[in-house]
Amino acid sequence: TNNDSRVIRAELLSFDADPGEGDKPAEGSMRHYADGALWLENGRIKAIDDYATMAPRLPEGIETVDHRGKLVMPGFIDSHVHYVQLEIMASYGRQLLDWLNEYTFPEECSFAQRERADVISNAFLDEMLRVGTTTAQVFCSSHPTSVEAFFSACCERDLRMLAGKVLMDRNAPEALCDDTYGGIRDTELLISDWHGTARLGYSLTPRFAPTSTREQLDATGGLLRNDESLWLQTHLSENPGELDWVAELFPESRDYLEVYEQSGLVGPRSTFAHGIHLDQDMRTRLADRGANLAFCPSSNMFLGSGLFDRLAARDVGLNITYASDVGGGTDLSGLATLKAAYQVGQLRGQPLTAWQGLYGLTLGNAKALSLNGKIGRFAPGMEADFVVIDPDGSPLLARRHARCTTLGERLFALMMLGDDRSILETWTSGCCQHRR
């Protein structure tokens, strides 16, 4: 039950705005309490302040969880991940299209079975909580049962999650392909059963242009037009072989993005994973619609897709989110995603500050997904999803930590060296759901 009130005493860090690209966070973009108090009530944040300031206002006898020496931040958000690919992470040596055919599609066939979908949903959520991720936008398989299993498992843990059934009606094994409008009807049923239930939201999920007919993409656009509260997730311009294939399949479109535009799929709640091979005109069109690109650095390096141009997106005001893209990605951890993003940035002359990275994992991702009214920062009324970070999570981390003198140094070392050992506890709706 989360019907009670308690206080977390710890070092607290939360962003209120984009900290910018500078070595120091922009004025007013961040709140930091060296000895802070986070007051939780009924699964939400009631107040946040210095402990010494809050202590006299607290009710007599309120439970205080003493996490002094730990760093508490809003729960991490993963804007693009495939739960059904958990067990094919690190399958050797292919680029996108071969990897899909050899590993991914055969694996996704097994999610026709409800028991398998239940087991992997729970294993996936266990792993997410172990790495401090409390919200994600998730691809299921094309089987409605894979979505029911996932949403049920999320409900049991009171998690805020977005997910959807993959839509595919061509160029995939028959066992995974929808009847064009049958897939749409299945989607409508899932929306009516799950969208807005508990903390769940439905994300329309056409896999990518090559595996849907124009008719199926158009029908998906119809669903999005009819209900502005739905999300949409797909893939865009990840790999050169994919680009050639899209040009062949959609000769009526002048570029890959136009395939999606023509079907009405590009809007403020649309997430396009990857977007490696784009020109500035495509980035501007995405920005004008308020869509976001999911930067998936560990996946882009694993599948040899290319180096995401973060600052080119930023230049035109295009929202970027951070994502693991497991099973193309090699790590579920948001900290590992930031480490990979830093490395990609270095190869492009665009290093990522810890301020920008940790803002991205929390409020940045929440804003781009239109969830910032509920999660992503610490403020009264926000849902109490947070992570308790142990800066001394391993002997080496403790050594490195002992040498840091500033908050900036500590956060950067955490971003580059941190992993599941750095996550002491993960809380959702004011309850501890994972303890290391």
Residue of 325, 331, 383, 390 interacting with ligand GUN (CB under 6 A): 325
Site for ligand GUN in 102-121 (CB under 6 A): 104
Q: x-or-dash pattern for ligand GUN, window 116-155, by CB under 6 A?
A: ----------------------------------------
| Cβ proximity to ligand GUN, 139 vs 359, nearer residue | 139
Q: Are 125 and 434 in contact (CB under 8 A)?
A: no
| Cβ proximity to ligand GUN, 82 vs 410, nearer residue | 82
208 binds ligand GUN (CB under 6 A): yes
Q: Are 148 and 200 in contact (CB under 8 A)?
A: no
Three-class DSSP labels, 192-212: HHHCCCCCEEEEEEECCHHHC
E strand residue ranges, 214-323: 231-236, 270-274, 292-295, 319-322
82 binds ligand GUN (CB under 6 A): yes
Residue of 325, 385, 390, 425 interacting with Zn ion (CB under 5 A): 325
Q: Are 32 and 48 in contact (CB under 8 A)?
A: no
**Integer Cα distance of 174 and 147 in angstroms:** 19
| Cβ proximity to Zn ion, 217 vs 273, nearer residue | 273
Cα 246 vs. chain centroid, distance in angstroms?
A: 26
Cα 398 vs. chain centroid, distance in angstroms?
A: 28
235 binds ligand GUN (CB under 6 A): yes
Return the structure tokens found at 94: 């292919």
Residue 199 interacts, among Zn ion, ligand GUN, none and using kind-specific CB cut-offs from 5 to 8 Å, with none
Q: DSSP labels for 116-184?
A: HHHHHHHHHHHHHHHTTEEEEEEE--SSHHHHHHHHHHHHHTT--EEEEPEE--SSS-GGGPPPHHHHH
Using CB under 6 A, which of the segments 96-104, 145-153, 223-231, 361-369 binds ligand GUN?
A: 96-104
- The closest of 272, 292, 297 to 351, measured between CA atoms, is 297
Minimum Å distance from CB 206 to ligand GUN? Answer: 10
Q: Are 89 and 69 in contact (CB under 8 A)?
A: no
Residue of 186, 238, 331, 425 interacting with ligand GUN (CB under 6 A): 238
Residue 164 interacts, among Zn ion, ligand GUN, none and using kind-specific CB cut-offs from 5 to 8 Å, with none
Minimum Å distance from CB 80 to Zn ion? Answer: 6
**Integer Cα distance of 293 and 238 in angstroms:** 11
96 binds ligand GUN (CB under 6 A): yes
| Cβ proximity to Zn ion, 307 vs 316, nearer residue | 307
Using CB under 6 A as the binding criterion, the count of chain residues that bind ligand GUN stands at 11
Which residues are bridge partners to 353 per DSSP?
A: none
| Cβ proximity to Zn ion, 234 vs 429, nearer residue | 234
Dihedral sign of CA atoms 81, 202, 17, 275 in order: positive
| Cβ proximity to Zn ion, 38 vs 296, nearer residue | 296
Minimum Å distance from CB 23 to Zn ion? Answer: 33
What is the edge-to-edge ordering of all strands in the sheet holding 423-428? Answer: 44-50, 30-41, 5-15, 63-74, 386-389, 423-428, 431-435
Return the structure tokens found at 414: 């955490």
78 binds Zn ion (CB under 5 A): no
Q: x-or-dash pattern for Zn ion, window 256-295, by CB under 5 A?
A: -----------------x----------------------
Q: Are 254 and 224 in contact (CB under 8 A)?
A: no
Residue 208 interacts, among ligand GUN, Zn ion, none and using kind-specific CB cut-offs from 5 to 8 Å, with ligand GUN
238 binds Zn ion (CB under 5 A): no
**Integer Cα distance of 203 and 321 in angstroms:** 16
80 binds ligand GUN (CB under 6 A): no
| Cβ proximity to ligand GUN, 82 vs 160, nearer residue | 82
67 binds ligand GUN (CB under 6 A): no
Residue 84 interacts, among ligand GUN, Zn ion, none and using kind-specific CB cut-offs from 5 to 8 Å, with none
Dihedral sign of CA atoms 213, 146, 239, 87 in order: negative
Binding site for Zn ion (CB under 5 A): 273, 325
Contacts with ligand GUN, residue ranges (CB under 6 A): 82, 96, 100, 104, 207-208, 235, 238, 299, 325, 328
